[in-house]
Structure 1
Amino acid sequence: MMLDQSLAARFAALTLGHLGQEYPHKLDHVLDGPDDAATPSALHPIFYGSFDWHSCVHGWWQVLTLARLFPDMPEAEAIRARADAMLTPENVAGELAYLARPSSGGFERPYGWAWALALHGEAARHADETGAPWGAALEPLARAFADRFRAFLPKLTYPIRTGTHGNSAFALTLAIDWARTHDPDLAALIETTARGWFSEDRDCQAWEPGGDEFLSSSLIEATLMSRLLGAAFPEWFDAFLPHLTEGRPATLFTPAHVSDRSDGKIAHLDGLNLSRAWCWRTIATALGDAHPVTPAACAAADAHITASLPHIADDYMGTHWLATFALLALTS
Structure 2
Amino acid sequence: MTPVQAGRFARIALGHVTRPYPHKADHVMTGDADVYRPQRVHPIFFGSFDWHSCVHGYWLLARVRRLFPVVAEAAAIDTLFADAFTAEKVEAERAYLDRPMSRGFERPYGWAWLLMLQGELMVGDSPHAATLRPLADAFADRWRAHLPLMTYPVRAGTHANTAFALVLADRYARVVGDEPLRDRMAEHARRWFGGDRGAQAWEPSGEDFLSPVLMEAMAMERLLPAVDFAAWFDAFLPALAGGMPATLLTPAQVSDRSDGRIAHLDGLNLSRAWAMRSLAAATDGPARRVLETAAADHLAAAIEAVAGDYMGEHWLASFGLLALTGTD
**Shared fold (TM-score, shorter chain, > 0.5):** yes
Query: Does structure 1 residue 187 correspond to structure 2 residue 182?
Result: yes
Residue aligning to 1:216: 211
Gaps (5+ residues) in structure 1? none
Cα distance in 1 for residues equivalent to 2:199 and 2:6: 35
Cα offsets for 1:124-149 (capped at 9, x unmatched): 1222xxxx321001111111011111
Amino acid across the alignment from 2:200 = Q
Q: How many residue pairs align between the two structures?
A: 324
Residue aligning to 2:140: 146
Cα offsets for 1:243-287 (capped at 9, x unmatched): 112221101110000000000000000000000000000000011
Residue aligning to 1:157: 151
Query: Does structure 1 residue 241 correspond to structure 2 residue 205?
Result: no
Q: CA contact under 8 A between 1:146 and 1:186: conserved in structure 2?
A: no
Q: CA contact under 8 A between 2:186 and 2:224: conserved in structure 1?
A: no
Cα distance in 2 for residues equivalent to 1:324 and 1:181: 20
Residue aligning to 2:272: 276
Q: CA contact under 8 A between 1:167 and 1:217: conserved in structure 2?
A: yes
Offset, 1:123: 1.0
Residue aligning to 1:92: 90
Residue aligned with 1:260, SS:
coil
Offset, 1:235: 1.7
Amino acid across the alignment from 1:83 = F
Offset, 1:70: 0.5
Amino acid across the alignment from 2:232 = W
Offset, 1:180: 2.6
Q: CA contact under 8 A between 1:277 and 1:300: conserved in structure 2?
A: yes
Cα distance in 1 for residues equivalent to 2:123 and 2:325: 16
Offset, 1:103: 0.5
Residue aligning to 1:27: 25
List, as ranges, runs of 4+ consecutive aligned residues in structure 1 with deviation greater than 4 Å: none
Which of residues 298, 304, 312 is equivalent to 2:306? 312
Which of residues 287, 293, 298 is equivalent to 2:287? 293
Residue aligning to 1:202: 197
Cα distance in 2 for residues equivalent to 1:284 and 1:174: 18
Amino acid across the alignment from 2:201 = A
Residue aligning to 2:5: 7
Offset, 1:177: 1.3
> What's the TM-score once normalised by structure 2's chain length?
0.97
RMSD: 0.9
Cα distance in 2 for residues equivalent to 1:270 and 1:207: 18
Query: Does structure 1 residue 51 correspond to structure 2 residue 49?
Result: yes
Which of residues 61, 67, 71 is equivalent to 2:59? 61
Offset, 1:236: 1.2
User: How many percent of aligned residue pairs carry the same amino acid?
Assistant: 56
> What's the TM-score once normalised by structure 1's chain length?
0.96
Residue aligning to 1:327: 321
Amino acid across the alignment from 2:72 = P
Offset, 1:179: 1.3
Amino acid across the alignment from 2:198 = D
Q: CA contact under 8 A between 1:202 and 1:240: conserved in structure 2?
A: yes
Offset, 1:118: 0.4
Q: CA contact under 8 A between 2:122 and 2:175: conserved in structure 1?
A: no
Which of residues 110, 127, 150 is equivalent to 1:112? 110
Offset, 1:176: 1.2
Gaps (5+ residues) in structure 2? none
